[in-house]
Amino acid sequence: MFAIGLFLVGKPITEGSFEVGLITFAKLIMHPVLAGFALIVLFPTEPLWAAVGILLAALPIGSGPFVLAQAQGVYVRRTSTAMLVTTMLSVVTVSAFFLVFPAAP
């Protein structure tokens, strides 16, 4: 995360905003929905493990894509921006997860 922060300093995060928006939508909305469908409908699992799988899908993008983008020299700024945006917006998706799947008493 430190390297990503250094990369973003002084650079605009508006470049490739459409692509970043698509990546963000896919990661924070579609990924948890598809994971939930797979874990509840296609491959029924125990409720605890289904909830854990959906929670993991609702988390932001990890640093792996940034490392690969930087190693290949392509889409580095868009990848780092997507990481920043998904990290900020994952507060909403993780909170929504806990509203849908409240902790058992």
Is 25 domain-assigned? yes
DSSP state of 40: I
78 occurs within a structural domain: yes
Residue 29 exposed, middle or buried by CB count within 10 Å (0-12, 13-18, 19+): middle
pLDDT tens digits, 69-86 = 888 988 888 888 888 889
Does residue 69 sit within a domain? yes
As a residue count, the chain comes to 105
Q: Is 50 a member of any domain? A: yes
The number of folded domains in the chain is 1
Q: Is residue 2 part of a domain?
A: no
Q: Has residue 55 been placed in a domain?
A: yes
Q: Residue range 1-20: average pLDDT?
A: 68
Interval 18-69: pLDDT, tens = 988 999 999 999 999 999 999 999 999 998 899 999 999 999 988 888 888 8
Whole-number pLDDT of residue 33: 93
Domain limits for position 92: 17-99
The answer, yes or no, to whether residue 93 has pLDDT greater than 90, is no
- The CB-side HSE value for 105 (13 A sphere, CA atoms) comes to 0
Residue 8 pLDDT level (bands cut at 50, 70, 90): low
- At residue 1, does pLDDT exceed 80? no
